[in-house]
Amino acid sequence: MITLAFESSAKAASVALARDGSLISQYSQCSGLTHSRTLLPMAEDLLKNAELQLSDVDLFAVAHGPGSFTGIRIGVSTVKGLAWACDKPCVGVSTLESMAWHGLAAGGLVCPVMDARRSQVYNALFEIRDGKPARLTADRPLSLEELAAELRQRDEAPFLVGDGAVLTARFLEKAGLPFRMAPENLLWQSAWGVAMAARDKTPGDSQSLLPVYLRLSQAERERQERMQNEK
């Protein structure tokens, strides 16, 4: 099975081609350009260099959240359009679960974290078992204080991955808690992780693919605050 996977949940964007769980190629970019300008050209280059056509793709996969509201919408919309046009199945996977695959070599407790602003992170905890991440918690937004309190109850230093890893590491260091930091090449979200996380998911069609935000957007939160203040 050939999977074309997309990751656009944060500043960096990437697209990956995988065949039966083995990576064929991956294209990553963190140029500051909007994902709407980069994702499709990256996919076109990957397919061309692999001498494949869109019709050769068996499954489209995308990180459907949590993460940047704009980035998630772009990634999900891109995959919905490709799946509909090609009449192929597609699947959305947790951004945090796809990040957990970066902890395979490190083993043990893996702690993906994404900066959710306001001293909060998007997080879930995983443990590497039998060569893949096993979920320990649901995806959730929580404060750094809450995450530190939970990690304090664990016997093992977490392996931090994601665009919130540096922020989290600084907080854990001040709190006197041990941690392991992913190296630069494994720190950021990747479409390879999306392709791996998609392997045991049940695909659907383009209409069933939806984004997962976990919380309201900043504009919606500000609107609610204004409404409460006006009461």
Location of structure tokens 């750094």: 144
Could you tell me the residue ranges of all domains in the chain?
Answer: 2-95+189-222, 96-187
Cα Rg for the chain, rounded, in angstroms? 18
pLDDT value at position 229? 57
pLDDT value at position 118? 85
pLDDT value at position 227? 52
How would CATH label the architecture of 96-187?
A: 2-Layer Sandwich (3.30)
Cα within 13 Å of Cα(22), Cβ side = 3
Query: How many Cβ atoms are within 10 Å of 164's Cβ, its own excluded?
Result: 24
pTM, to two decimals: 0.91
Query: How many Cβ atoms are within 10 Å of 222's Cβ, its own excluded?
Result: 11
Mean pLDDT split into 10-residue runs, the chain, 231 residues: 96 94 92 81 96 97 95 96 97 98 97 93 97 97 97 96 96 97 93 97 96 68 53 58
Partner residues linked to 133 by β-bridges = 128
**Interatomic CA distance for residues 209 and 7, integer angstroms:** 15
Which residue type occupies 122?
Answer: Y
Which residue type occupies 192?
Answer: W
- Copy the structure tokens of residue 38: 């980069």
- Copy the structure tokens of residue 146: 């809450």
Cα within 13 Å of Cα(198), Cβ side = 33
**Interatomic CA distance for residues 136 and 42, integer angstroms:** 34
pLDDT value at position 153? 96
CATH of 2-95+189-222, one of 3.40.50.880, 3.30.420.40, 1.10.540.10, 2.40.160.210: 3.30.420.40
